[in-house]
Amino acid sequence: MQVFKLCMKIFKKNLPVMTIYFGVFIIISIIMMTNSRPAEQAGFIQSKVSIVVFSNESSPLVDGMKEVLSDVAVFVEMEEDETLIQDSLYFRRIAYVLRVPDGFTEDFLSGKEPKLAKTSVPGSTNGIYIDMRLEQYLNTANLYVRGIPGIDAETLNAYTLEDLDYETPVEMQRADQRFGVEGMMQYYFNYLAYTLMYVVIMGISTIMLVFNDLNIKRRSSCAPISPGKVTLQFYLATLLFSLISWFVLVSLSLVFSRNELAGSNTPGFIINSFVFASSTTSIGFLIGNLVRGREAISAVANVFTLGSCFISGVFVPQAILSDSVLKMASLFPTFWYVSGNSQIAVSADFTESLIIQIGFAVAFFVLALVVGKKKRMAIEN
């Protein structure tokens, strides 16, 4: 088992670098955890939008307006600082800024139809939503101003609020339905793809780099071990490495999503990631056989993993990606791994995704063997 032992030694030497990649995965996962969406609600809940209202006036009209808006909006306190407002709008922390001009109430009551100044992200759904509610309040009040001349502010406010009190009955199609409940486990397993690919490709290529050095290759082919045995031990070692990486990353994912462990989907995620690890190992072999030089390997590994992860929906949900991008992505096992995960999340059948990944694993492996054989026959590097 000389070859196997040697491989283990090389792995040990590269341990610090590998630890960094695992660290990156943990950090990304923690960030995603803090960004995770709030728990889903059962039944129909009206959406609330964050808005800012600037007003120097306090009249029944303005107070009533705020009261009506509070059904659909959360008021955010903010300094009147243009830069801050714009940044908050750009980063979608708030969706709507409303400014009540001085003398608004007076002008309104005398039927002048004054205007409120609003600032929102142009064309956003949230903005339209607030608009509808706001215009409804002001229009109702305006009808009273015109329909009942001389109406005083308090009565106006009371009438308007009473009218707006009615709510349309809303029924859910299935009362027990839960919405958008993709648990977080799916996401942790998706991110795992990035780290796993990177670590496995880098690890395998690093060993191959050592073995493929011309002088070392020549020296080892003089050794009294058959080439078949060398290859076998070599594969065993890399397989062990992939398995350990897979095991570490899956354990981490499971730790992060520990409150979903009891779910029926957990075994599915584990099986899917295992199959993905096998196809990644094959890709690692292929890249290790194709590329020369340490710098070149890290370049290829970076671009390949980042690229396939971006277009396959590891970082950005597949739903957002365009069809042509997804078509391109379907040429990578990562795509099938991610779609497998989303099928598992809704307890759908994911055998197709599994089979395609296995197909990729076999195809890349055979390709790697062919390339490796050709390389071995070459006289020079």
Partner 1 sequence: MFRHIFAYRLKVLLRDKTMIFWTMIFPIALATFFNLAFGGLGESGSFNVIDVALVETQPNPQFMSVLDMMTAGETPLFALQKVTAPRGETLLADGHVAGIITVSESMSLKVNQSGIRQSILKVFLDRYAHTTRTAGRIAAEDPQVLMEMDFTPVVFTEERPVSHAEMDIKLSYFYALIAMACFYGSFFGMEEVNLIQANLSKRAARLNMAPLHKLKAFLYSSLASYSILIVEMMLLMAYLVLILKIDFGNQIGWVIFTIFVGSLTGISFGGFIASMVKGDENVKTGLLIGATMAGSFLAGMMFQNVKHLVQLKAPILQYLNPVNLLADAFYALYFFNTCKRYLINIAGLLVFAVVFAGSTYLVVRRRKYASV
Residues 110-139 that bind partner 1 (CB under 8 A): 113-126, 128-129, 131-136, 138-139
Burial 189-222 (b: 16+ CB within 10 A, else e): bbbbbbbbbbbbbbbbbbbbbebbeeeeeeebee
| Closer of 129 and 336 to partner 1 (Cβ) | 129
Neighbours of 233 (CB within 10 A): 18
| Using rule CB under 8 A, residue 164 touches partner 1 | yes
d(CA 205, CA 330): 24
| Using rule CB under 8 A, residue 33 touches partner 1 | no
Piece of the chain touching partner 1 by CB under 8 A; list 56-64, 306-314, 353-361, 371-379 = 306-314
| Closer of 1 and 172 to partner 1 (Cβ) | 172
Q: Please pick, from the candidates 72, 254, 270, 271, the single residue that binds partner 1 as defined by CB under 8 A.
A: 72
H/E stretch holding 52 = strand 49-55
d(CA 380, CA 230): 20
d(CA 368, CA 362): 10
Site string for partner 1, 309-348 (x = CB under 8 A): -xx---xx---xxx--x--x--------------------
d(CA 293, CA 210): 10
| Using rule CB under 8 A, residue 163 touches partner 1 | yes
| Using rule CB under 8 A, residue 150 touches partner 1 | no
**What contacts 126, CB < 8 A, 6 or more positions away?**
49, 95, 96, 120
195-254: which residues touch partner 1 (CB under 8 A)? Answer: none
φ, ψ for residue 238 (rounded to 5)? -65, -35
Min dist. Cβ of residue 302 to partner 1 (A): 7
| Using rule CB under 8 A, residue 38 touches partner 1 | no
| Closer of 145 and 237 to partner 1 (Cβ) | 145
- Residue 178 burial class via C-beta count within 10 angstroms: exposed 0-12, middle 13-18, buried 19 and up: exposed
Piece of the chain touching partner 1 by CB under 8 A; list 214-222, 236-244, 272-280, 307-315 = 307-315
243-302: which residues touch partner 1 (CB under 8 A)? Answer: 295-296, 299, 302
| Closer of 118 and 217 to partner 1 (Cβ) | 118
| Using rule CB under 8 A, residue 9 touches partner 1 | no
Which residue, chain included where needed, has tokens 């341990």? 15
Neighbours of 266 (CB within 10 A): 17
| Using rule CB under 8 A, residue 169 touches partner 1 | yes
At position 121, the amino acid (one-letter code) is V
